[in-house]
Amino acid sequence: MSDDAVVCEVEIRAPAARVFAMFTDPALLVRWIGIRALLEPRPGGSFRFELLPGEFCSGRYVEVVPDRRVVFTWGWESGALPVAPGSTTVEVDLSERDGVTHVRLTHRGLDAAIRAMHAEGWARYLARLSAVLEGRDPGPDPAKEGLPA
């Protein structure tokens, strides 16, 4: 693994097919991250979602292996964070055993200055993903914390 990678892992009591759908179906993605999404889950297809009003993450799908692996490029359109759209890569690997899916998310290509922020963000959002899939309340969206109501 390269030194620039952020790795987050979680065990989710749900089949891999359901976890996979949370990264490829726009209506499901926004249940755990973001408010609107445009997803075209095929190599070269668009991966774009609005995290907060006017704040978009975007890239392209690189690899889509149903129920096993999703790879997409990632970046921020507004320039608020120094990660250009499509300039980094997120790999999501799924392995299911006895109805529990192990999720390993690896985010590569991040500069050292923003690696910790992305590591914390992914950990918090994967916890939300787990809660949604296990039927628990994911609580407030971490991206909205500290914003005026």
CA of residue 50 relative to chain centroid, distance: 12
Domain that holds residue 53: 6-141
Two tokens, residue 49:
């979602």
149 assigned to some structural domain: no
30 assigned to some structural domain: yes
Q: What total of structural domains would you count in the chain? A: 1
Q: What is the CATH number of the domain that holds 44?
A: 3.30.530.20
pLDDT tens, position by position, for the chain (149 residues)?
Answer: 456 799 999 999 999 999 999 999 999 999 999 999 999 999 999 999 998 888 899 999 999 999 999 999 999 888 777 888 889 999 999 999 999 999 999 999 999 988 999 999 999 999 999 999 999 999 888 777 654 44
Which residue, among 83, 120, 125, has the nearest Cα to 103 in the 3D structure? 125
Which pTM was predicted? Answer: 0.91
